[in-house]
Structure 1
Amino acid sequence: MCFVRPNTVGVSGRAKHFRVRRGVKGGRRFIRRIHTVCVGRLSYVEHQLGANRNNLVYIFNDTLNNSCPIAKVPNETCETFPIPTLIQHRKKRIDNTSCRDGSNLLKIETSRVPIANTSGTLSLCTLNCRSSRNKSVSINDYIQSNNIDLMVLTETWLGSNTDNAILSELTPNGYNFTNNPRVDRRGGGLAIIHEKQVSVKPANKDAKYTNFEHLECSVGVKNKFIRIAVIYRPPPSKSNKFKNSVFFEEWTNYLDSLVLIPGELLITGVLNFHLDDPNDKDARTFTELLTEHGLKQHISDETHRLGHTLDVLITREDSPILQGTPFVADPGICDNNGNRSGDHLAIRTLLRLSKAPRERRTVTFRKIHDINIDKFRNDLDFSNVTYKEASVEKLIIHYNRVLTATIDVHAPQKSKEIVIRPNTPWFTDDLYSAKRDRRRAERTMRRTNLAVHNDIFNQKCMQVTKLIQHCKSQFYINKIQEIGSDSKQLFKLTNNLMGNTNLSVLPEHDSEIDLASKFGEFFIGKIQKIRENLCSLTKSPTMEVVLRADIKFDGIPLEAFEPVSIAEVCDIIGDAPTKSCELDPIPTNVLKQCLESPLPIVTEIINKSFSEASVPLDFKKAIVRPLIKGQGLDKDEFKNYRPVSNLPFLSKVLEKAVASRLEKHLNAYQLHDNVQSAY
C-alpha cells in the first residue's frame, strides 16, 4: 500500500506561497492532505474537530488485498473490517460521537509498578567541612536550599567553649544542634544539625577511643529509631603518632559492640582510607572487617577533590533503611568571605523514616490595632453596679465582664492554625534570583561533567555567599536604625545576633496537659515542704529568741491601710510597665488609652480589698511557666526548674498601693534595718 502526497495549489491552479517559519519545511500555514484509513461510514459533522472530508479515503476488502495505490472512491456505504488495537487500562468512555468501536479493542492486563514515595523519607547529608567556624553562612544556606533533615559534619573545629554566635549562624531556624567537640587539642569535632521534629539523643557517651572520634546517636521520628554513628579518623602523622594497627584493634572492638544493638544501623563519616584502591592493604583490611560484622559500604565514587574514596556510608548487609542509591555531590561550600573552601564532596542519601510533619500550632489573637479607641471608650458602661453594696469579688466579676464583652465586639477573638517554618527575614528577590541561577548552573554541571561548567558553578556559589552576607548586614543595619534609642529592643536584637536567645526548655513529654499537671504537683509539694519547715522552726524555743524584737516599738501600729484616691490609682497605672497577662480582660495598652471609664471601679476594688483585708481570688491566679535554672542542667529533672508567675495587671496595681503605704510607715518610724540588703 502506498500513499501519494497531493500537491497544494491555490484556486487559480498556481502554487500558493506562504510565510515560512523556522523548523517547518513547508511554512507556517502550509496545508497537507493526509490520507486516512478508516472502517465504516463516518458520521460527519461540518467543521467537527477540524476534519476535512476531502482528506478521507474509503477502502473495501478487495482494496486491502490489492497492492495497487489507493484510489479515491465515492462516499458510499461500505463493509466494515475490525482492526485489532492494543490499549492500556482506561476509564470507560460513553461518547456517541466517537468513531471508535469498542468491540474491536483488545484489553491487555498490565502490572502496575509502585512509584517510590520520597515524602516518607529523611534527607541525610554527610560533609567533612574542615572548620565550620569560617563556613557557617554557606553551610546554613546549603541545609535550607536542599531541604536536608540530618546534616552530619566532621572536622567542625568548634571546640568545647563554642561561641554562641557561631552556632546561631550555623544552625538554621527550626533546627537543633548536637555537638561532640575535640577537647584535648585543636581541630576535629563532630556534629549533627537536625530538624526539631527529628529526635536525636546522644548514646554511648562513656566509650573513649584514641585513634578515632565518634558521635553515636539514637535518631527517631514517630517512635521509629535507628542508631547513627558518626566517625572521624585523622590520618596518622608524626604529631598525633597514630598507628593503623591500634586503630583496627579499637575499630574491631567498637564494631563488636555496635552490631549487637538491635534495629537499623548506619555509620557515616571520614576514615581517610583509599577504599577505591584494591591494592591498598589497609583499605582491604577495613573492608574485610565490615564483611565479618555483616556490614556493607555503599560509597564507591571519589569523595575527595584530588581523588579516592575517603568517606563512608555503612549499613547492615540486608538493611532496607536506604531509599535509592546514595550519591556524591559538590556542595559548593564557601568561606564567609565568599571564596571556595573545602576539599571533600558531600554524600547525599534518603532514609526510610517517615518524615515528621512540620510543627503546627493553634494561636488565638485579636486585632487590637484595628480598635477605634473613641468608640471603644464610649461603649464601656460600668453603671449597672452599686459600689457600696457590692463586695470586692462582685466588683471584679463585673469589671471583667464589661471589658470582655466590649472587646469581643470591637476585636473578637479568632483562632488560626499556623505551620512553624524556618524564618529568614533578610531574604530578598535578588538573593532568590542568585540562588536560582546557582541551581541552574549545578544542573548543567551534573549533566555535562565539563570543567568549564564546574567553574561556572563555583562562581555562582561564591556570588550567592557574598550576597547572603550583604543582605544580612543590610537587614540588621536597617533594623538598628529603626530601633533608634530604644535600648530594650536593641538589647533584644543583640542577644538574637549573639545566639543568646532564651528558648523554652522543657522535659521530654507526649502530652502538654500531663506535663503541666506534673509540674503543678511538684511546685505545690515544694511550697508545702517550705511551709512545714517554717512552722517547725517557729515552734522551737531558739526561734522565738531570734524573732524577738531588739528594740521595743513605741509608735502607732499599722492596723489598716488608708484608702486610695482616683488620682493616685491613675498615677500608679500610668507609671506601670505596659505588660499584659493572659488573664487580663483587655491588654494593658488599651486600658491606659481608655482609663477614664474603668478608673472609678478600679479604685473601688482596691479600697474594698483594704477594708475587707483580703486579696481577691482572681488576683491570686497566675500563669506559671517553668524556667530552667541554668544551661547544662538535666532538663528531665523537675528540681532544675523554678516557677515564674505572671499575675493579672490589677493585682500589680494593688501591690503598688500596698507597698507605698507600707514603705511610708517604715520610713516614718525608721523601721528599716541599717544593713538591709536586697530582700
Structure 2
Amino acid sequence: MLSRENFSLRAVPVVDISESVGLVWDSPESIAFLLVYRAPRAPADSLSQLLETVSEWSLRFPRLVVLGDFNVHADTDSCSAAAMDLVSTMETLGLLLCSTGPTHQAGHTLDLIFSAGIQVTQASIIEVPWSDHCALRVRLEHAYPPGKGTKPIWARPRRLMEPSRFRNALKDLEPVSDSIDVQVDTWNIRLSNALDEISPRRPLQPHRNRSPWFTEELRSMKRKKRRLEGVWRELHDRASRSAYRAFMESYEHATIKAKRVYYASLIASTSSRPAKLFKIIRSLTTVPTNPKSDDQAPSAEAFQSYFADKISLLRRDLPATIDTRRELETPWPLAGPTLDRFIPLDAEAVDRHIAAARLTTCSLDPCPSWLVKSCLEGLRDPLLKIINSSLEQGIFPEGLKEAVVSPLLKKPDLDRSVPSSYRPVSNLSFLGKVIERAVAEQLQQFLDNTAGLNRFQSGFCAGHGTETVLVTITDHLRCQLDQGGSVLLVLLDLTAAFDTVDHNLLTHRLAIVGVRGTALNWLASFLHNRGQRVERGGLVSERSPLLCGVPQGAILFPLLFNIYMRPLAQLVRGFGLECYQYADDTQLMLKMEVRPDSVPDNFYQCLKAVTGWLCASRLWVNPAKTEILWLG
C-alpha cells in the first residue's frame, strides 16, 4: 500500500490470513484498512477464516475498509454462491459492498471493496496494461484536519550564484587594520554584501530530492513512456497496448541498470573509506520507514540547557578530593625540541588547504564554501593575510569561536520528545577550519618528528583506523595464548570524554610535549572563550559558553584530544601493561606467562592509578560499560 508522507499510517498484525496487510490511518477519526489477497485455489475454509478476522477487526475499528482480490465471482448477473455468502456475511458485520463492475479481463468481478462507518463513493474502474486486473478508484468521505502546508524556505537561489558575478560584486577586501578580529569582520561583511547583491534571500518552495541515479536518458524514456500511455488510453486497441507494455519493460530494465551502474561506481569509489562505505551499504539494505514529524522534539533552548547541564553534572560528580594543581605545577622540560611558532603560509599552501577542505557550509559563513573555492583567485590575498596574521599574533579570531549545534536523533525508534535521544553535532565556520588546517599540519609534523603520541593510538591518525587497533589487539592476544600464557584485558568506557576536557590541563600538556611561545598562545586562544548556539526548526537559542571540552567538528579536535590522553599510555606502561587507544576508547592488557592463582598486584595498582589519573583529568569512567576479560 502506498500513501502520502503526511498520512500517519501504522501497520497492524493480521493473524490467520497469510497474504494480507493491516493498516490504521491515525487521524482524529482513525480508519483501519484490511488489504486481502485470496489465491485462486485457496482452501475451502479460507473464506471462513477471512470472515472471522473481519469480524474481529469490525469490533476493534468502527471505521473499517476491507478491500482486495477475493477471487470470487461477484458479478451482477451471475453471482456465485461463495460470493453471495461473502457479501451477506459482510452486511451482517456492518460492511457494505461498493458496487463497481467487472474488474478482470475475463469479465468477472473479483476485486471488491467493503466499508463500515465511512462513505465510499465515485467508484470507477481503470484499465491498466501491466495486469489482467483493473485498478479501482474510489472516494472516501472522511474529515481530515487541514495540513500545515509547505512552508517556504528563505534561501538564496544557487543558479544566481555565478562565480564571475560574485567576483565583480566584491568590493575592496584589503585589510583596514592589523587586528585579526577586524580583518575577519571585514571579510564576513564584504562577502555577505556581495552575495546579497547577486543572490538576495527569497522565499523558495522546497523541492523533492531527486534520485542521483536518474539520468537524462531515463528522463527522456519516461516522457516517451507517458506519450505511449496517452496513445493507448485514447485508442484502447491491442497494438497501442502492446507497444506501451513493451516500452514499459524496456524502461524498467534501463532503470535497474542505471541504479546498478550508479551504486557500483559509488561503492568502488569508497572502497578505501570504510565509514562512508558502510553508510552506503546500510542505506541500500535498510527498509525505509515513514518519516516521523519533529513536532514533538524539544525546543532549541531546551536542547541548549540539556547539553550544558549534562556536562556540568558530570564534572560536579567527579571526586572532590582530586586536585589538578599538582600536575599544573609540574615544570616544563628544559631540554628537547620545541614548537615556538607557526610558520606563515604562502599562496601555494593556502591553495592546498582550500582544496583539501570539505564543501560544508555553516549558517555562520557569509557565503557558501564552494563559492569561496570557485573565486579563490580573487580571495587568495585577503585570505592569506588573515591566516598569517592569526599565526603571527598567536590569536584565534573571536568571531570564529562560535559553533552552531544541530541535535541529531541517535536511533529512529527513540522518543523524539526526550533531549537524551539526540546527540549534538557542531558546525563551524569555513574560514576557521581553513586556519585550523594550517595549524594542524604543522602541529602534526612536529609530533611525528618527536614521537609525541602513543604508538598504539589509532584514533584520528593517518594510516590508522578501527581495523588497526582491532587487528593489533587480536594479534597480541593470539600470540600470547599460543605461547601458553594468559591475558587480562580491560576495556575502559568514558562518558562524554570529548566534552569534559579541562582547558588548563590541555594547555599544560601541550607545553609538556614541546609547544611553547606564540604557538602555545595560539592554541590557548583557540580553546578559551568559545561558545555555541543550538539551531532547531528555524529557531536559534541564546549563546552558551563552553568552559571545557574540545570543539567537536573542529579540524584540531582529534589531535588535541590525542595529546590530552598521551600521559595515560606512559602511566600504564609503568606498571608493565600495554595501552591501546582509539580516541577515547582505551584498552589495558596485562600479559602473563602462566595463569596465576590470583590477579597480580600490579594489575590492581594500575587500575587504581588509571582511575585517579582519569579523575584528575576531569574524565568520567562509566562502570556499567567498562569490562574485564581474562583469557588463557
SS of the residue aligned with 1:273?
A: coil
Distance of 2:384 and 2:40 partners within structure 1: 82
Distance of 1:460 and 1:361 partners within structure 2: 42
> Over aligned residue pairs, what C-alpha RMSD do you find?
4.8
User: Which protein shows a greater Rg?
Assistant: 1
1:652 aligns with 2:441: no
Q: 1:289 aligns with which of 89, 102, 116?
A: 89
1:213 aligns with 2:20: yes
In structure 2, what is the equivalent of residue 274 of structure 1? 73
Distance of 2:241 and 2:80 partners within structure 1: 33
Would you say the 8 A contact 2:403–2:428 is kept in 1? yes
Distance of 2:201 and 2:435 partners within structure 1: 31
Q: CA, structure 1 residues 584+557, in 2 after alignment: closer, same or farther (shift >3 Å)?
A: farther
Would you say the 8 A contact 1:358–1:421 is kept in 2? no
Distance of 1:478 and 1:243 partners within structure 2: 45
Query: Which structure has the highest helix share of the two?
Result: 2
Using the TM superposition, give the Cα deviation of residue 625 of structure 1 relative to its aligned residue in structure 2, in angstroms: 3.4
1:405 aligns with 2:193: yes
1:436 aligns with 2:244: no
In structure 2, what is the equivalent of residue 148 of structure 1? none
1:230 aligns with 2:9: no
In structure 2, what is the equivalent of residue 258 of structure 1? 61
Question: Using CA pairs below 8 Å that are at least 6 residues apart, which structure has the higher relative contact order?
Answer: 2
Distance of 2:188 and 2:209 partners within structure 1: 38
Q: 2:134 aligns with which of 316, 337, 345?
A: 345
Would you say the 8 A contact 1:200–1:219 is kept in 2? yes
Distance of 1:539 and 1:281 partners within structure 2: 85
Deviation string for 1:575-616 (max 9, x for gaps)?
4325241322233314523233313541255237724xx662
In structure 1, what is the equivalent of residue 51 of structure 2? 248
Deviation string for 1:190-220 (max 9, x for gaps)?
xx22233x413215x3563446633222166
Would you say the 8 A contact 1:588–1:649 is kept in 2? no
Distance of 2:20 and 2:333 partners within structure 1: 75
Q: Give identity over the alignment, percent.
A: 16
Alignment of 1:507-522 (within 5 A): 507-510=292-295, 515=297, 518=299, 521-522=302-303
Deviation string for 1:238-274 (max 9, x for gaps)?
8x89644444333322222222xxxx54332233333
Q: 1:298 aligns with which of 98, 104, 124?
A: 98
1:201 aligns with 2:201: no
Q: 1:330 aligns with which of 116, 127, 149?
A: 127
Distance of 1:249 and 1:265 partners within structure 2: 15
- Code of the residue aligned with 1:267 in structure 2: it is V
Alignment of 1:444-459 (within 5 A): 444-445=235-236, 453=237, 455-459=238-242
SS of the residue aligned with 2:454?
A: coil
1:643 aligns with 2:424: yes
SS of the residue aligned with 1:596?
A: helix
In structure 2, what is the equivalent of residue 182 of structure 1? none
Q: CA, structure 1 residues 418+520, in 2 after alignment: closer, same or farther (shift >3 Å)?
A: same
Would you say the 8 A contact 2:66–2:115 is kept in 1? yes
Would you say the 8 A contact 1:625–1:643 is kept in 2? yes
Deviation string for 1:33-56 (max 9, x for gaps)?
xxxxxxxxxxxxxxxxxxxxxxxx
Distance of 2:327 and 2:16 partners within structure 1: 64
Distance of 1:602 and 1:640 partners within structure 2: 40
Q: CA, structure 1 residues 428+253, in 2 after alignment: closer, same or farther (shift >3 Å)?
A: closer
1:371 aligns with 2:164: yes
In structure 2, what is the equivalent of residue 386 of structure 1? 177
Alignment of 1:94-105 (within 5 A): none
Using the TM superposition, give the Cα deviation of residue 275 of structure 1 relative to its aligned residue in structure 2, in angstroms: 3.1
- Code of the residue aligned with 2:21 in structure 1: it is H
In structure 2, what is the equivalent of residue 142 of structure 1? none
Distance of 1:372 and 1:529 partners within structure 2: 47
Q: CA, structure 1 residues 663+590, in 2 after alignment: closer, same or farther (shift >3 Å)?
A: same
Distance of 2:352 and 2:317 partners within structure 1: 39
Q: CA, structure 1 residues 638+236, in 2 after alignment: closer, same or farther (shift >3 Å)?
A: farther
Alignment of 1:468-547 (within 5 A): 468-469=251-252, 472=255, 507-510=292-295, 515=297, 518=299, 521-522=302-303, 524-537=305-318, 539=320
SS of the residue aligned with 1:597?
A: helix
Distance of 1:250 and 1:470 partners within structure 2: 40
Using the TM superposition, give the Cα deviation of residue 376 of structure 1 relative to its aligned residue in structure 2, in angstroms: 5.6
Distance of 1:420 and 1:571 partners within structure 2: 35
Distance of 2:60 and 2:291 partners within structure 1: 32
Q: State the TM-score, normalized to the length of structure 1.
A: 0.53
Would you say the 8 A contact 1:573–1:592 is kept in 2? no
Q: CA, structure 1 residues 234+433, in 2 after alignment: closer, same or farther (shift >3 Å)?
A: closer
Q: State the TM-score, normalized to the length of structure 2.
A: 0.57
In structure 2, what is the equivalent of residue 314 of structure 1? 114
In structure 2, what is the equivalent of residue 28 of structure 1? none
Q: CA, structure 1 residues 504+552, in 2 after alignment: closer, same or farther (shift >3 Å)?
A: farther
Using the TM superposition, give the Cα deviation of residue 296 of structure 1 relative to its aligned residue in structure 2, in angstroms: 0.9
In structure 1, what is the equivalent of residue 341 of structure 2? 562
Q: CA, structure 1 residues 506+302, in 2 after alignment: closer, same or farther (shift >3 Å)?
A: closer
Would you say the 8 A contact 1:215–1:229 is kept in 2? yes
Q: CA, structure 1 residues 373+443, in 2 after alignment: closer, same or farther (shift >3 Å)?
A: closer
Distance of 1:241 and 1:530 partners within structure 2: 66
Would you say the 8 A contact 2:40–2:71 is kept in 1? no
Distance of 2:149 and 2:51 partners within structure 1: 42
SS of the residue aligned with 1:462?
A: helix
Distance of 1:235 and 1:477 partners within structure 2: 34
Distance of 2:98 and 2:290 partners within structure 1: 38
1:597 aligns with 2:381: yes
Distance of 2:289 and 2:375 partners within structure 1: 29
Distance of 2:48 and 2:287 partners within structure 1: 47
Q: 1:396 aligns with which of 169, 184, 190?
A: 184
Using the TM superposition, give the Cα deviation of residue 343 of structure 1 relative to its aligned residue in structure 2, in angstroms: 3.6
Using the TM superposition, give the Cα deviation of residue 397 of structure 1 relative to its aligned residue in structure 2, in angstroms: 1.6
Unaligned runs of at least 5 residues, structure 2: 460-582, 584-632
1:620 aligns with 2:405: no
Unaligned runs of at least 5 residues, structure 1: 1-191, 334-341, 446-452
1:674 aligns with 2:483: no
Would you say the 8 A contact 2:97–2:112 is kept in 1? yes
